[in-house]
Chains A and B, each alone.
Chain A
Amino acid sequence: AQKITQTQPGMFVQEKEAVTLDCTYDTSDPSYGLFWYKQPSSGEMIFLIYQGSYDQQNATEGRYSLNFQKARKSANLVISASQLGDSAMYFCAMREGLDNQGGKLIFGQGTELSVKP
């Protein structure tokens, strides 16, 4: 069964340092997508980055990069040069397959990141 695991309930990072948030997944489908979302204390869900299972290169979006290790089934989020505004809950999510029923997502339990000044 498909599953997403985030093993770090909470993390601290010093402002301007880089931080890695862990995500492992389990699926038997060769075609899947991996997403990271940010949820600040205000509650909205903000899309950060996407990685497709067939993508040859790791995805990057500004200060966000996804360290995709397919053989290890991991999709860690790396935030470079942390800012105070990065303090939030971060969710890893997976979509299996590609069909006409759209992209149902399975979410991990989240990691709460706190950035210290």
Chain B
Amino acid sequence: AQTVTQSQPEMSVQEAETVTLSCTYDTSESDYYLFWYKQPPSRQMILVIRQEAYKQQNATENRFSVNFQKAAKSFSLKISDSQLGDAAMYFCAYFWKGGADGLTFGKGTHLIIQP
């Protein structure tokens, strides 16, 4: 079974600084998607960024970018110019295109933004 591991239960960063959240996953498949979801205190789950395993180029969405290392099975999220509104739980998730199991989530990283 696929597993997703987020080794940092909590991270803290100063406003305007850059922070990187780690995610590793375990799979024997080659065709899959990886996601980062944000869950602010409102509890709403919001998609931050998505990466297809076959694409070598790292995905970027404004201040959010990923470092996808397929061989190392690593998928970290970099947040640049951190803002107070970035404070939230961040979940890494995996989906195998050939599967029927929905998304597999990590346990999450609680990101604190220090003003």
| A, B co-complexed | no
